[in-house]
């Protein structure tokens, strides 16, 4: 961990100008049945746009604590963890590999305010009373679906906890929508 205070003070808080990047910021690979391994090239603007979209949709603030159970090497981990953390200044807590009891403990001990998890995990958190627990500091939760057409919503009451639906599309992009908004 390196403090950025000196850089910010030396630059009086003004944006740092950098040369245009001629190479991709990220190269990942995707594999499909019956197709060769294919590289995916992502530039800074694409990655930052994904982070900003998620941060804006969830209303992320610098005081938020994101509990992310997804690997940072995939669409969900980058789109819901790494990039929103980088653009919002929130705290990112990683949870891998997934283990429900440890996840619940981290959610409470780390005072997570934002989580994203598959719908069955959120349903289990609801059924186990985690959302109603005074040790739970969540202010929003996101249900991650594999594909929009498979998003059969299970209605459960989370009290005042807003629910968002997240649809990872392709290999590095996801859409975050408030659950009260119909998908069109």
pLDDT for the residue numbered 136: 96
**In angstroms, what CA-CA distances link 166 with 71, 108, 157, 170?**
16, 23, 18, 13
Adjacent-strand bridge partners of 117: 143
Q: What pLDDT is attached to residue 44? A: 81
pLDDT at 181: 44
CA Rg value for the chain: 18
**Along the 184 residues of the chain, how does pLDDT read in single tens digits?**
566 677 667 766 566 666 666 777 777 777 677 877 877 777 888 888 888 988 988 889 999 999 999 888 777 788 888 889 989 989 999 998 889 999 999 999 999 999 988 888 888 999 999 999 999 999 999 888 766 545 555 555 566 788 887 777 666 556 777 775 433 3
- Residues 28, 17: Cα–Cα separation, whole Å: 27
pTM above 0.85, yes or no: no
């Amino acid at each position: 961990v390196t403090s950025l205070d000196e850089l910010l003070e030396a630059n009086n808080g003004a944006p740092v100008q950098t040369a245009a990047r001629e190479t991709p910021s990220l190269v990942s690979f995707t594999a499909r049945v019956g197709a060769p391994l294919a590289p995916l090239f992502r530039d800074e603007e694409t990655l930052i746009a994904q982070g900003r979209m998620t941060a804006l949709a969830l209303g992320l603030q610098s005081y938020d604590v994101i509990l992310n159970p997804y690997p940072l090497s995939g669409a969900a981990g980058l789109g819901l963890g790494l990039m929103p953390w980088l653009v919002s200044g929130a705290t990112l807590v990683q949870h891998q590999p997934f283990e429900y009891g440890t996840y619940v403990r981290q959610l409470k001990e780390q005072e997570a305010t934002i989580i994203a998890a598959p719908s069955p995990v959120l349903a289990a958190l609801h059924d186990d009373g985690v959302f109603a627990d005074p040790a739970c500091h969540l202010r929003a939760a996101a249900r991650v679906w594999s594909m929009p057409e498979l998003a059969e919503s299970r209605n459960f009451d989370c009290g005042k906890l807003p629910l968002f639906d997240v649809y990872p599309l392709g290999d590095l992009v996801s859409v975050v929508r408030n659950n009260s908004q119909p998908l069109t």
